């Protein structure tokens, strides 16, 4: 099944709220068939509105230890979720992710790196002009 692709939103969206254990089983079944090479998170946002709640739910989603042990399914890693959130789709559509990366994200990465290199501690110092009332 090298040319098959699936999205997990059609079952994950409703089941993540109504029956999370069934969402875990659905995810496990797709994983057994496809692994992580061609799965994507899809939504019906055209009909139901913003998918942000689905994105947030999937970010927190984990398969329980019981299901992992009973079905030889492994836990979901950050890398697995990155593939499902967009890297698999980028590969399908031949999008060079590094070339399309948002320049703002690069600037924020540089600021974070500089912050961590300088100790990663906050400073309560006040800079600039500060009015002091008596």
Give domain status of residue 73, yes or no: yes
Give domain status of residue 35, yes or no: yes
Give domain status of residue 24, yes or no: yes
Q: What is the pLDDT of residues 46-90, one digit of tens each?
A: 777 788 888 888 899 888 888 888 877 778 888 888 888 888 888
Give domain status of residue 100, yes or no: no
Give domain status of residue 64, yes or no: yes
Contact predicate 84/41, CB 8 Å: yes
For 50-68, b where at least 16 C-beta lie within 10 A, e where not — what string? ebeebeebbeebebeeebb
Higher pLDDT, 14 or 37: 14
Which residue is it, tokens 């993540």?
16
In the chain, the number of structural domains is: 1
The per-residue pLDDT of the chain, averaged, comes to 80
Structural domain boundaries enclosing 86: 6-94
Give domain status of residue 119, yes or no: no
What pLDDT score does 9 carry? 72
Give domain status of residue 58, yes or no: yes
Distance in angstroms (rounded) separating the CA atoms of residues 128 and 7: 52
Give domain status of residue 40, yes or no: yes
């Amino acid at each position: 099944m090298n040319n098959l692709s699936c999205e997990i939103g059609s079952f994950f969206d409703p089941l993540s709220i109504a029956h999370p254990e069934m969402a875990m089983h659905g995810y496990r079944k797709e994983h057994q068939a496809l692994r992580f090479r061609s799965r994507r998170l899809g939504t019906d946002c055209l009909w139901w509105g913003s998918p942000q709640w689905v994105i947030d739910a999937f970010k927190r989603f984990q398969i329980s230890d019981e299901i992992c042990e009973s079905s030889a399914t492994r836990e979901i890693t950050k890398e697995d979720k990155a593939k499902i959130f967009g890297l698999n789709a980028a590969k399908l559509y031949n999008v060079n992710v590094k070339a399309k990366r948002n320049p703002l994200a690069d600037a924020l990465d540089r600021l974070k790196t500089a912050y961590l290199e300088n100790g990663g501690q906050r400073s309560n110092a006040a800079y600039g002009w500060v009015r002091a009332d008596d």
